[in-house]
Amino acid sequence: MATTDRTASPLVPSPPPEISAADAARIVREQFGLVADAEPLGSNQDRNFVLTAEDGAHRLLKIANPGTSVAELDAQSVATRLVAATAAGIRVPLALDPETGTAAEAGASTVRVVEHDGQPMPARVLDYLEGRTLSGSGHLAPPTVRALGALAARVDLALADLDHPGAVRESQWDLRRAPEVLAVLLPQVGDAALRERLRAAAAEAWSSLDTVAHALAEQVIHGDLTDDNVVSGDAVGRLPDGVIDFGDLNRSWTVGELAVTVSSLLHHDGVDIARALAAVSAYDRTRPLSRAEAVALWPLVVTRAVVLVASGHHVVATDPGNRYAEENLAHERAIFEEATSVPLPVATARVLATVGLTVEECELPAHGPLLADLDPEAVAVLDLSATSSALDDGRWLEPGVEESLADEAVSEGAPAVVTRFAEPRLTGATPAATAAPANTALAIDVTVAQPRRVVAPWPGSVRHTPSGLLLHHDEVELHLDGVEPEVADGGAVPAGATLGLSRTRLGVRVTRTGADAPRPVRADWARAWRSLVADPTPLLLGRSLPDPRQDPEALAARRRRVLADVQEHYYDEPPMIVRGWRQYLVDSDARVYLDSVNNVTSIGHAHPRLTEAVAAQWRTLNTNSRFHYPVITEYAERIVETLPDGLDAVFLVNSGSEAVDLALRIARACTDRADVLAVREAYHGWTFLSDAVSTSVADNPQALETRPDWVHTLDAPNSYRGTHRGADAHRYAEEAVAEVGRLAGAGRPVGAFIAEPFYGNAGGIALPDGYLSAVYDAVRAHGGLAVADEVQVGYGRLGSWFWGFEQQGVVPDVVAVAKAIGNGQPLGAVITSHELANRYRSQGYFFSSAGGSPVSCVAGLAVLDVIRDEGLQENARLVGDHFRRRLERLAEHHPLIGAVHGSGLYLGAELVRDRSTLEPAAEETAAICERMRDLGVIIQPTGDRLCVLKIKPPLCVTTEDVEAFVDALDRVLTTGW
Ligand SMILES: Cc1ncc(COP(=O)(O)O)c(C=O)c1O
């Protein structure tokens, strides 16, 4: 074996000798009486082999480092048994008794010492836990992160009373020994800059630890409860339920276990500190952390990261062939970078807040005003939040808008304008970014009408800086950018002394002395930064400004109290959406999401033409359709213009459900028949009639059993996964025609046949060619009417066709439409011929209080105008085609995408576990939707199997948005969900 200069000691053990698979197989045969093939597994210190017996059963051969004693290995077997006995549901690899070949009982030794290359080496055979570890840098979803934290806590509780001589050892992984270990390991890091960073981080962490080390509980811990050492028997959810490799079992700080677990999360895609802390709260719920442990946690995470990196370098230097260690170096480095991505006190503040402990915040000292002769009451506050009306109509996207708004306020007479401290600024957000923006300034920006005298709010010493000056006072520093100093560098000033003259823009921040100058941070980090940064607003206004944002969780709790449970919301932890603009949605932290589900918002959110038209109409008149006003006529004329001849009588209602309901009532009135034919796996609304013809079990699991007897259903004409696929799909029409005939023959001829003309609820699947034409003909031949539900797919979304029925080359008798036609204004329409419409007289006359109101009609007109003037149908065609092609290309690399359905901007990516069985990947789809939200994309599942990503964004979506969507999906499918 090639070795270079090695420094072997219990703290820095040398690797075991190479052992071939054949030797391993021999060892288990001779020592354990097992006949099995052996396959090597990677490890830093031991030699491990997976054994496969003739019957296919797996076991594990562990040949320990020669420095390991039999007592240590026995301690590991005892610990494993203890976890198995006390922590129900946690799987562990029990050791085999070499004498009996079965799980060893208490007291039985499980170790055989084998000779290899003249060295005695202790070997054991253990159960092999089936399942996957969480190894690699793939994404770990929040439930997995939480499960890992809870697992660590349960193992700690199980081992709390373990007392075994073999569990007290000198180990480089005992974080209590880190300074000694690093003294040996750090010199192995060749890169001097990295070495220095590691050294500095470890030193800072150690000095924080020192303050609480005496109060940290100790016990025997697993010592390496990481992503690599847990297994999940649950292939889809990846919830870890098994713990392996007790080889680092040792007495140490209990909280060290959690630090090891948490640090192992930090190299996973999309798992940053904030995400990893979910493991901490889960741990804390099972085994509450003391304050000292919470304070120690992040220093220990940093220390562990430093030891990992340094040890990785050491192993690579001393065991050059160790590819496992080489590959791990990148992960170890990523852990270190993430662990130190915020200052240690900030990370600790966040840990404390996570487990509900108080955090000591940086406070302003006693102070006077900063700007001389400024009346705080006259100062204007600039609202740059996501709800700011100053940022309406997309103004937040204008470059330099913050300065323009401040200048506008000054020009309106304010002597000064101040931004809000720690406000997530919409102006700092980027549309369709994959990460939450660092848009929260931990400083305030002040704009003054003219230069003002800046005075010292407290006594201190002055230092000049490139952009202004710094006033130091005991524990805090006031940083002023945009001031011409009038005090000499190094000079001391009393409170109230002039510091200099401001320019028109002044930046003000207060930090603890020596703290890193904070750049804008992500909104969720602002609170933790308060440990280092104080709110300087009182220096200008004499008070802090309240945070106008509502707490999303508290609001969700209120929502639960006042809204019916069945009125569900997207996502378990929904973002609080406060603004929409074009194809984007914005949450209260001013994070901008790409909205890929809102086909209701056809022309985009907050379209100025619509909002202006509606506001003007509200100011003038809003009444009901029994009055005679111009806009209802103008609007109905415009709808009729989009339709084929003969569809010329319009009813206006408020929703899709009402439109479908009314369409069925018209058919009933016209045919005097109650029987209706509908396709299965469809949704048409919630009112009594529209619900009766809705058969989608995704919306109502009892849908099929609870149909009234007047509803007859046809096989779902799904050419991808239905009864007849591909070229056989024409058989749906034949069977449907036969069913229409059968019903007529049985004395139940249907009055109406209702279907979406493009199968929206199934995920945007085109109906088989000729399907509607055959069924419409058959229904009409037996005296029934054809009703097209265009609520989802109509109005230009399909790109090549304005109405879905055009794709099938048919003309229905009755069209029901809603959603897109009002862009969110409650508006629906039913359009039929005058002849049929008049037959409704048998039901009485038709009236809907708000249906067709002036406000709804101007909204409807504005939508049609915008679709025409902005070429949105053509945009749906072009961007939609591109979208579809990109998704199809993605499917070439990701077998989970079974098919891409749809047309224009009504697309569906159907996810399957197996392309031949088409097993629906429903759990994966749900998890992917969650992860896509993390990456800035709002997307939801659809279809009866909830395995289709329904892609139906506002029609103004761009190709850049498509790239963002597809890149995000690619990342999720590559790195996991
Ligand atoms: C095809 C179809 N028809 C009708 C409706 C009911 O529309 P609304 O929710 O406006 O009542 C929906 C709603 O999702 C739908 O998808």
Read off the pLDDT of residues 448-488 as tens digits, 9 standing for 90 and up.
Answer: 999 999 999 999 999 999 999 999 999 999 999 999 999 99
The model's pLDDT over 810-833, given as tens digits with 9 standing for 90+, comes to 999 999 999 999 999 999 999 999
| Predicted local confidence at residue 9, as pLDDT | 64
Q: Which amino acid is at 319?
A: D
Whose C-alpha lies nearest to ligand 1, atom 4? 684
639 CA to centre of ligand 1 in angstroms: 19
Can you tell me which atom of ligand 1 is nearest the CA of 658?
11
User: Which ligand 1 atom is at minimum distance from the Cα of 819?
Assistant: 10
Is the pLDDT at 545 greater than 60? The verdict is yes
**Residues 221-233: tens digit of each pLDDT:** 999 999 999 999 9
Per-residue confidence (pLDDT) for residue 11, from 0 to 100: 66
pLDDT of residue 7: 46
Distance 734 CA to ligand 1 centre (A): 28
pLDDT at 504 over 70: yes
Is residue 216 classed as helix, strand or coil in its secondary structure? coil
Give 326's pLDDT tier (boundaries 50, 70, 90). Answer: confident
* pLDDT higher than threshold 80 for residue 803: yes
Provide the pLDDT for residue 41: 87
Residues 6+ positions from 324 with CB-CB distance below 8 Å: 42, 43, 44
Helix or strand holding residue 454 (H, E): strand 453-455
Chain segment 668-686, per-residue pLDDT in tens: 999 999 999 999 999 999 9
Rounded-to-integer distance, Cα 661 and Cα 443, Å: 57
Residues whose CB is less than 8 angstroms from the CB of residue 70 and which lie 6 or more positions away in sequence, other chains included: 109, 111, 113, 122, 166
> pLDDT grade, residue 165 (50/70/90)?
very high
Query: Which residue has the least CA distance to atom 16 on ligand 1?
Result: 792
Q: What is the pLDDT of residue 315?
A: 86
pLDDT over 70, % of the chain: 98
Ligand 1 pocket: which residues have CB below 6 Å? 655-657, 660, 683-685, 756, 760, 789, 791-792, 818-819
Mutational test site, ligand 1, from 661, 684, 699, max ligand atoms within 8 Å of CB: 684
Answer whether residue 164 shows pLDDT above 50. Answer: yes
Q: Do the strands 592-595 and 676-679 form a parallel or antiparallel pair, or are they unpaired?
A: unpaired
Closest-lying ligand 1 atom to the alpha carbon of residue 660 = 4
Q: From the CA of 824, how far away is ligand 1's center (Å)?
A: 12
Q: From ligand 1's centre to the CA of 728, what distance in Å? A: 30
498: which residues sit within 8 A by CB, 6+ positions away?
372, 453, 454, 455, 456, 486, 487
**At a CB cut-off of 8 Å and minimum separation 6, what does 388 contact?**
396, 426
Question: Which one-letter DSSP state was computed for residue 427?
Answer: G
Distance, in Å, from the CA atom of 338 to the CA atom of 348, rounded to the nearest integer, reads 14
789, 755 in Cβ contact below 8 A?
A: yes
Per-residue pLDDT, 13: 64
Query: For 601-653, what is each residue's pLDDT tens digit?
Result: 999 999 999 999 999 999 999 999 999 999 999 999 999 999 999 999 999 99
Q: Are 367 and 538 in contact (CB under 8 A)?
A: yes
- Sort strands 676-679 and 711-714 into parallel, antiparallel or unpaired: parallel
Q: Taking the model in full, what pTM does it have?
A: 0.94
* Minimum-distance ligand 1 atom for the alpha carbon of 826: 10
Is the pLDDT assigned to residue 974 strictly greater than 60?
yes
Sequence-separated (6 or more) residues with CB below 8 Å from residue 854: 617, 620, 621, 622, 623, 629, 631, 632
Q: Is pLDDT at 394 greater than 70 in this prediction? A: yes
Please give the structure tokens belonging to residue 150. Answer: 């809870």
Protein residue with its CA nearest to atom 8 in ligand 1: 656
Residue 658 CA to ligand 1 center (angstroms) comes to: 9
pLDDT at 3 over 50: no
Query: 855 C-alpha vs ligand 1 centroid, how far in Å?
Result: 21
Residues 707/713, Cβ–Cβ less than 8 Å: yes
Q: What is the mean pLDDT of residues 86-100?
A: 91
Per-residue pLDDT at 530 exceeds 50: yes
Nearest CA to ligand 1 atom 13: 685
| Bridge partners of residue 815, in order along the sequence | 788, 831
Ligand 1 atom index nearest CA of 828: 10
Q: How far is the CA of 672 from the centre of ligand 1 (A)?
A: 25
Q: Over 90: is that where the pLDDT of 84 sits?
A: yes
Residue among 496, 351, 379, 512 at smallest CA distance from 448: 379
CA of 976 to the centre of ligand 1 (A): 33
- Residue 101: what pLDDT? 79
Q: Calculate the alpha carbon distances from 594 to 243, 357, 573, 929, 961 in Å.
A: 39, 36, 18, 13, 7
Q: Whose CA is nearest to atom 10 of ligand 1?
A: 656
State the average pLDDT over residues 922-944.
96
| Per-residue confidence (pLDDT) for residue 318, from 0 to 100 | 81
Nearest by Cα to 241 from 155, 301, 124, 125: 155
334 burial type by CB count under 10 A (0-12 exposed, 13-18 middle, 19+ buried): middle
Name residues whose C-beta falls within 8 Å of residue 441's C-beta, 6 or more positions apart in sequence: 419, 421, 422, 423, 425, 428, 520
How far, in Å, from the CA of 661 to the mean position of ligand 1? 11
Start-to-end C-alpha separation, the chain: 41
871-882: per-residue pLDDT in tens?
999 999 999 999
For 848, other C-beta atoms within 10 Å of its C-beta total 17
- Give residue 290 CA to ligand 1 midpoint distance, Å: 53
Confidence of residue 2 (pLDDT cuts 50, 70, 90): very low
CA distance 231 to 209: 31
Chain-centre distance for alpha carbon 427 = 22
Inform me whether the pLDDT recorded for 100 exceeds 90: no
Q: How confident is the model at residue 4 (pLDDT cuts 50, 70, 90)?
A: very low
- pLDDT greater than 60 at residue 323: yes
Residue 682 CA, closest ligand 1 atom number: 1
In the chain, the percentage of residues whose pLDDT exceeds 90 is 88
Task: Work out which ligand 1 atom sits closest to the CA atom of 818.
Answer: 10
Q: Look at 525 and 101; give whichever has higher pLDDT.
A: 525
**pLDDT value for 516:** 79
| Average pLDDT for 139-151 | 97
Give pLDDT, residue 68.
84
Q: 550 C-alpha to center of ligand 1: Å?
A: 31
The Å distance, Cα 682 to ligand 1 centre, comes to 10
Distance 684 CA to ligand 1 centre (A): 5
Tens-place pLDDT, residues 328-380: 899 999 999 999 999 999 999 999 999 999 999 999 999 999 999 999 999 99
Among the ranges given (131-145, 240-254, 312-326, 611-625), the one the predictor scored with the smallest mean pLDDT: 312-326
Tens digits of residue pLDDT in 733-773: 999 999 999 999 999 999 999 999 999 999 999 999 999 99
pLDDT at 657: 98
Distance CA 182, CA 265 (A): 22
Residue with tokens 């055009």: 806
Q: Is the pLDDT of residue 16 over 70?
A: no
The residue whose CA has the least distance to atom 2 of ligand 1 is 684
Confidence class for position 320, pLDDT limits 50, 70, 90: confident
Which atom of ligand 1 is nearest to 657's Cα?
11
Q: Give the mean pLDDT of 161-178.
A: 94
Which atom of ligand 1 lies closest to the CA of 793?
A: 1
Alpha carbons within 13 angstroms on the beta-carbon side of residue 373 total 5
What is the predicted pLDDT for the residue at 6? 40
In testing the pocket of ligand 1, which one of 598, 600, 792, 823 has its CB within 8 Å of the most ligand atoms? Answer: 792
pLDDT at 152 over 60: yes
